[in-house]
Structure 1
Amino acid sequence: MTAPRVRRGGLRRDHFIDLRPLTTSPAFARMWIGSTLAGLGGQLTLVAIMLHMYELTASTFAVSMIAVAGLVPMIFAGLYGGMLADAFDRRRVALLAASVTFASTAVLMVLTWTGMESVAWLYVIAVVNSSANSVVMAARQAIVPRLIPAALLPAASALGGITMGIMVSIGPAAAGILVAFTGYGWTYTIDLVLMSALFLGLWTLPAIKPEGEIVRPGLKSLVDGWQFLRRAGNIRMQYILDITAMTFGQPLALFPAIGALLLGGGAITTGVLTAAIAVGAFFSSLLSGPVARYRWHGRGIERAIIAYGASIALFGLMLLLAAFGLFAPEVVDETSANIVMLVAACFALAGSGAADNISSIFRSTMMQSAVPDAIRGRLQGIFIVVVAGGPRVGALYAGTLATFTALWFPPLLGGFVIIGLVLFLVRLSPRFRAYDAEHPVP
């Protein structure tokens, strides 16, 4: 047997990401490219709205409420979008929802260029975008297993980590720079241009109708999905673990205040901190070869989320040290940053991004391989609600607790809470820890 080739640094070829989903399925490749570019633009707007809100209100709580305000509409949109994906052509469902996102961002762009933007409008646009994106994501994720072989699903999930890494590393950093040097109008305009790639990726797909029994959207469809989830202990446990991690370990809403008050650097620091999470996700996907071959997905999720909690606690510790003035220059404000502690905080956040991405690879693969196609859209809808809803609850936790304590306290406490809860929950579910990807059982 030929020994694997070794590259510089001792990395074998099989340590790197598996690109076969892109070469095996041109349709998947087009959707992946379109989703990556559109997601990059979406991150520009997401971070710009946060900065815009902080500029208008000077309130961390108001920034956190951007996420919270969209929580209930997003839950309904995700659930209903999943039902639509199980009843109609999934390509068409995704296209219609993407059109709503495009139109709402165009409204925000026009309002900003004409000077008519307001706190209320920022909340409305954020709610509409999050709701429409939930439908797009539910339909698109249900499409993936129909485009590539089952054996390549872990590799496809790892490519999703590359997408997230590009989106959340380049997007927020670019948003911070664009807002600082050109303003909000140009930032929203560039998002519209990038979003057009999503339509190209979806439009060129074949029609993808659900297989098996089709249940029209409505109460019966929703009840069927929930009944399946009640029987699917492994899927249910991964939802619970992800909600735990995102509720107590999501400091994103604190970043504008951290940039303005604690680490300094203003909007650029906000973008850099957000980008650090994605850099970790990007490199963990780039070196995801061993992860994609690891068959004990429940155990992998457990270990990855524990590592995530430890990284978030470390981030809180770095903020605490910065609050005590460690390595601080004479003045820390929006134009002068504590560079040493900013770099340390970024390393901790990169670790959290890497751990969360590894968990996501296992969770997505479990969803796509263990859930039957006829109900996959509804389960993906619930999955999107969990993935997108958890950070919004986390924003409320972080923003509220920071308002009454200090900016460093929510992540420091939350990291330890995550570790303790994950160890406790997984101990109650040995079946989840024994999950075998070669014999997927929901």
Structure 2
Amino acid sequence: MPGPAQEAGAAREDGPRRRVLADLTPLRSSPDYRRLWVGNTVSWVGQAMTALAISLQVYDLTGSSFSVGLVGLFSLVPLVVFGLYGGAIADTVDRRSLGLWSAAGLCGLSVALAAGAFAGFHQVWFLYAIVALQAVCAALNAPARSSMIPRLVPPEQLPAANALSSVTTTSGTMFGPMLGGLVVGFWGYQAAYLLDAVAFSAALYAMWRLPSMRPDRKPGERPGRASVLDGLRFLATRPNIRMTFFSDLCAMVFAQPRALFPAVAVLWYGGDARTTGLLVAAPAIGALLGSVFSGWLGRIRRHGLAILLAVAGWGGAIAVFGLTRQLWLGLLFLAVAGCADTISMVFRQTMLQAATPDEMRGRLQGVFIVVVAGGPRLGDFLAGSAGDLLGPGLAVVGGGLACVAAVFGLGLVWRGFARYDSRHPTA
């Protein structure tokens, strides 16, 4: 066995790496968290692949960026309604069971997409309906899954766990579109949807292995008392948590150019489905790099100020992307935007988890999911509409500049947010 001197030397060698690279302690210390992380990572690849395939199929059927933007709108309403309600359910029932059944529903919907594609049933309304049902299942699954994490790892590991969660989403968003573009380009939509259904088996297995995870309750509180309104009342008294939501909406609503990528790939770069996949994947590449090299984030104490600067960085990078007409340069600035988004996400999620009691975590995570998932879909609709009216270039540049202006305006109105100190967290 190594002696104290060897252990001290190993710690000294590991310290500089941890200051730069992501902290893997949650994966090493918690087998349940490790299985959940691996399952979510695999399934995210499939979901991102399907999201790209649906956008491509809608554009192929209609030739309209507005129709692609409607994909976001059809998922937005279910996400808003069931995200809030799903969070209340997660504060009432066994979160493991809720996560398991909602993941099974997502798997079944991917099977339905594959069956429709194999049967030659190419109808836009069918794709919109599946997207809406996917949003319902995702809105039930995400609050349950996210509210489990503070029960699987100790509080001091939450920033590291959130950075690793960013690796999950960003690697899925990176590899999913690239894989989706290749699969659709070579084998068609049905193959992409079928691979997504298979990928969900990893998430189902991880949920199945988790222990029962019923929420903690206040003394005297009976089961079934969780209320969406109670969660919103709690949020109304927490200005710093509200600001994490508002700042993310600035980025995702004003500066989300995803719905324009099919048109941009053709009009700016003379590309095809594979080019669209690269455009969708570029922010995820930057986000993944930001997650992998996230060790330094643990030393940041002014989380609110970091969020404001990161969101402004996202908007500025998107605006510059709108001015580029060379593919490599456009991909570079999209990657910079993705890295800024990861920094914002880690601090926003950490602030939310640190300031929320367990009996409220499902409901607040429901609001978080509505903002994180619903904001980009509203942004898809806004970008698609603006792209058809003003052209893709003006829509992208204007959206990025609007994001920068809006987040700095919020910082001026709520100045206490920039002074938030993680050593003395106040919601």
Q: In the alignment, is the contact (CA less than 8 A) between 1:5 and 1:13 conserved in 2? A: no
Offset at 1:48? 0.3
Amino acid at match of 1:313: A
Q: What is the percent sequence identity of the aligned residues?
A: 40
Could you say which residue in structure 2 is the equivalent of 1:143? Answer: 148
Summarize the alignment of residues 26-425 of structure 1 with structure 2, pairs less than 5 Å apart. Answer: 26-213=31-218, 221-318=227-324, 322=325, 341-425=326-410
Counterpart-to-counterpart distance in 1, 2:315 and 2:14:
33
Amino acid across the alignment from 2:320? L
Q: Offset at 1:262?
A: 2.1
CA distance in 2, matches of 1:157, 1:67: 25
Give SS of 2:322's match. Answer: helix
Question: What is aligned with 1:329?
Answer: none
Matches of 2:231 and 2:151 in 1, distance apart? 20
> 1:54, 1:256 within 8 Å by CA — same for their partners in 2?
yes
**Which deviates further from its counterpart, 195-204 or 220-229?**
220-229
CA-CA distance at 1:100 after TM superposition: 1.3
Q: CA deviation at 1:117?
A: 3.0
- Structure 1 CA distance for aligned equivalents of residues 211 and 420 of structure 2: 33
5+ unaligned residues in a row in structure 1: which ranges? 323-340
- 2-structure distance, mates of 1:266, 1:413: 25
Contact 2:311–2:407, Cα closer than 8 Å, also in 1: yes
Q: Residue 4 of structure 2 aligns with which residue? A: none
**Aligned partners of 1:358 and 1:115: how far apart in 2?**
43
Instruction: Please state how far the C-alpha of 1:413 moved relative to its aligned partner.
Output: 0.9
Moved more, 349-358 or 101-110: 101-110
What is the CA–CA distance in structure 1 between the aligned matches of 2:224 and 2:123, rounded to whole Å?
36
CA distance in 2, matches of 1:168, 1:185: 19
Secondary structure of the residue that 1:193 maps to in structure 2? helix
Distance, in Å, in 2 between the alignment partners of 1:116 and 1:13 is: 51
- Assess, with a 3 A threshold, how the Cα gap between structure 1 residues 179 and 91 changes in structure 2: closer, same or farther: same
For residues 88 and 264 of structure 2, the distance between their equivalents in structure 1, rounded to whole angstroms, comes to 40
Give CA-to-partner distance per residue, 1:170-210, whole Å, 9 cap, x none.
10011001000010111111111111100011111111111
Q: Deviations over 1:31-83 (max 9, x none)?
A: 00000001111111110000011111111100110011121111111011101
Once residues 12 and 117 of structure 1 are traced to their aligned partners in structure 2, the CA distance between those partners, rounded to angstroms, is 51
Q: Retained in 1: the 8 A contact 2:240–2:417?
A: yes
| Cα deviation, residue 439, structure 1 | 2.0
**Residue number in structure 1 paired with 2:29:** 24
The answer to whether the 8 A contact 1:138-1:381 is kept is yes
Alpha-carbon separation, structure 1, partners of 2:198 and 2:229: 39
What is the distance in 2 between the residues matched to 1:367 and 1:346? 31
SS of corresponding position for 1:70: helix
| C-alpha displacement of 1:215 | 6.4
Deviates more, 1:290-299 or 1:352-361: 290-299
- Quote the offset at 1:430 in angstroms: 2.1
Compute the displacement of 1:5 (Å): 4.2
TM-score, scaled to structure 1: 0.91
Is residue 4–residue 13 contact of structure 1 (8 Å, CA) maintained in 2? no
Runs of 4+ deviating beyond 4 Å? 1-7, 214-218
Instruction: Give the deviation of 1:261 after TM superposition.
Output: 2.2
Higher mean Cα deviation, 158-167 or 206-215? Answer: 206-215
Matched letter for residue 114 of structure 2? M
User: Measured at CA, do residues 177 and 231 of structure 1 come closer, stay the same or move farther in structure 2, by a change above 3 Å?
Assistant: same
Describe the SS at the equivalent of 1:437: coil
Instruction: Tell me the number of residue pairs that the alignment of Structure 1 and Structure 2 aligns.
Output: 417
* Aligned-partner residue type, residue 288 of structure 2: F
Report deviation, 1:260: 2.2
Q: In terms of mean alpha carbon deviation, does 408-417 or 59-68 score higher?
A: 408-417
Distance 1:345 1:353 in 2: 12
Q: Report if aligned partners of 2:18, 2:296 keep a CA contact under 8 Å in 1.
A: no
Partners of 1:419 and 1:216 lie apart in 2 by 44
